[in-house]
């Protein structure tokens, strides 16, 4: 689960950089560069996608709950309502990813 957790944290970091950059409802060049730099960390995700997908396939319900709790701890946006929505969306997407990767691993059409 460590690679999956690392990947999710990289995405969260980018979301937080975007959130900070848009605090004044404007985006300047330096903020754009900062967003781009945080997104460069996603290269690691793409390089390790097979391992991450394996971890998703093998993710137990207990580990999914633990990961969701860690996401809620890690994610810190200025707007608590938006933060709650993002946490729920990530939880749903993670559940969807688990179903889809397990179906693909079993070679069954969902």
100 near 37, Cβ under 8 Å?
no
Kindly state whether residue 74 falls inside one of the protein's structural domains. yes
pLDDT by 10-residue block (mean), the chain, 110 residues: 90 89 90 93 94 88 88 85 86 84 72
Kindly state whether residue 110 falls inside one of the protein's structural domains. no
Closest alpha carbon to 55 in 109, 105, 18, 90 = 105
Closest alpha carbon to 49 in 94, 15, 4, 88 = 4
- Reported pTM: 0.76
- The whole-angstrom separation of Cα 6 and Cα 50 is 14
Q: How many domains does the chain have?
A: 1
Domain span including residue 76: 2-105
């Amino acid at each position: 689960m460590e690679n999956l957790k690392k990947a999710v944290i990289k995405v969260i970091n980018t979301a937080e950089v975007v959130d900070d950059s848009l605090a004044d409802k404007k985006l300047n060049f330096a903020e754009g560069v900062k967003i781009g730099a945080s997104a460069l960390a996603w290269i690691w995700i793409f390089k390790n996608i097979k391992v991450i997908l394996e971890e998703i396939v093998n993710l137990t319900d207990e580990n999914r709950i633990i990961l969701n709790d860690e996401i809620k701890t890690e994610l810190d946006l200025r707007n608590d309502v938006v933060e709650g929505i993002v946490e729920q969306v990530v939880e749903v997407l993670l559940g969807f990813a688990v179903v889809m990767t397990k179906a693909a691993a079993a070679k069954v059409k969902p």
